[in-house]
Amino acid sequence: MYSKSTERMHFSLSSRN
């Protein structure tokens, strides 16, 4: 499990791609 912060980070990376 990861914190919400990590989720946001992954989301940001996905958005950038």
Instruction: Write the pLDDT tens digit of every residue in 5-16.
Output: 777 877 777 776
pLDDT, residue 2, reads 65
Task: Spell out the alpha helix ranges (H) of the chain.
Answer: 4-16
Name, in order, each residue with C-beta under 8 angstroms of 12's C-beta and a sequence gap of 6 or more: none
Q: Per-residue confidence at 17, pLDDT binned at 50, 70, 90?
A: low
As a residue count, the chain comes to 17
pLDDT averaged over every residue in the chain: 73
pLDDT, residue 3, reads 75
State if pTM tops 0.75. no
